[in-house]
Amino acid sequence: LWSRDAADAEISLRELAALAETAGSQVLDGVLQRRQTPDPGTYLGQGKAAQLAAVVQETGADTVVVDGELAPSQRRALEDIVKVKVVDRTALILDIFAQHAKSKEGKAQVELAQLEYLLPRLRGWGDSMSRQAGGQVGSAGAGMGSRGPGETKIELDRRRIRGRMAKLRREIAAMAPARETKRASRKRHAVPSVAIVGYTNAGKSSLLNALTGAGVLVENALFATLDPTIRRTRTPDGRTYTLADTVGFVRNLPHQLVEAFRSTLEEAGDADLLLHVVDAGHPDPDGQIAAVRAVLADVPGAMDVPEIVVLNKADRADPDTVDTVRRREKDAVLVSAHTGLGIEHLLERVAAALPRPGRTVDVLLP
């Protein structure tokens, strides 16, 4: 990643490691390169690339993940030097999306993004290196960066890939009305919805469990057929609401990938309340908050939804860091999804922030 200061580069590299772990990899080592501009040939430059090759040999790594976006020629040149598969940040994120996409629309969005990424890189795929390193591309267990469209799809020529992309776009457009109906019915039944947003690894799914574990889970046959990341629960005074987990944000999200989470993000724009979960144990929580808000700014309606900032992982947070964040985010709630600290208080805050049916007044403008 090309950044101005070394500390920022290191945080970004740690994040990349967390993402790789989310994708199911074991991270062995990190190599940092300082340059004015990326090397057009090998991205890192010959000397650093040779050093990286030595690290790969020593550790027995089977994949190199680069924190940036590689041109197809740079990826091939690096692979020639390090002799293992090279994956860039975008491919890694796409891989995580592919693992997490559950809904029909989510899957279609992710495949579309994968094909968009693949199209200009077509020559580099299916070469001897990725076969040797990853086995059959697209097969289960082929490893990071190769999940997704199966081998036959990857070997389609550009025209057929474009055809597939057009078909996916049509399918996605056709799915929109179904989503509208779902939303309309939610509004008709006046069940308020809470969307949990936040950075990858901030503890969103842990918090979803902590909140619904402490509250009363409502089992409902209709709801059981919906996305498993949506739960129904109740406020202490008995009002029902939904809690939805969303796909984690990442810093410097490649812009072409924003569409791939659209279905999840739309949920955030449509919610009555956002729980913005932040890892208070992270060295730069402010940076994470800013990153999430920067992406939410692109989601229609999301900036208008009331938000509660939840500082999670209180059990391992540095008190000074927490103080710094709280000076800016005055109403932030400090919790630990692990120890349960602050969860009761958060449930009360959620209850207070949810719209009360019958008490709100809709103002209709002429």
Binding residues for ligand GDP (CB under 6 A):
198, 200-206, 248, 312-313, 315-316, 336-338
Q: How far apart are CA 70 and CA 73, in angstroms?
A: 8
Q: How far apart are CA 278 and CA 236, in angstroms?
A: 25
Determine the 3-state secondary structure of 145 from DSSP. coil
Q: How far apart are CA 50 and CA 60, in angstroms?
A: 15
Q: Which is nearer to ligand GDP, 201 or 240 (CB)?
A: 201
Q: Which is nearer to ligand GDP, 86 or 207 (CB)?
A: 207
Q: Which is nearer to ligand GDP, 161 or 197 (CB)?
A: 197
Taking the complex as a whole, the smallest distance from the CB of residue 286 to ligand GDP amounts, in Å, to 18
* Sequence-ordered alpha helix ranges (H) in the chain: 6-22, 46-59, 72-82, 89-100, 104-118, 128-134, 151-154, 158-189, 204-214, 221-224, 262-270, 285-296, 319-328, 343-353
Taking the complex as a whole, the smallest distance from the CB of residue 200 to ligand GDP amounts, in Å, to 5
Q: Which is nearer to ligand GDP, 25 or 33 (CB)?
A: 25
Taking the complex as a whole, the smallest distance from the CB of residue 245 to ligand GDP amounts, in Å, to 7
Taking the complex as a whole, the smallest distance from the CB of residue 288 to ligand GDP amounts, in Å, to 11
Taking the complex as a whole, the smallest distance from the CB of residue 335 to ligand GDP amounts, in Å, to 7
Q: Which is nearer to ligand GDP, 202 or 274 (CB)?
A: 202
Instruction: Tell me the residue type at 316.
Output: R
Instruction: Tell me the residue type at 75.
Output: R
Q: How far is CA 340 from the centre of its chain?
A: 25
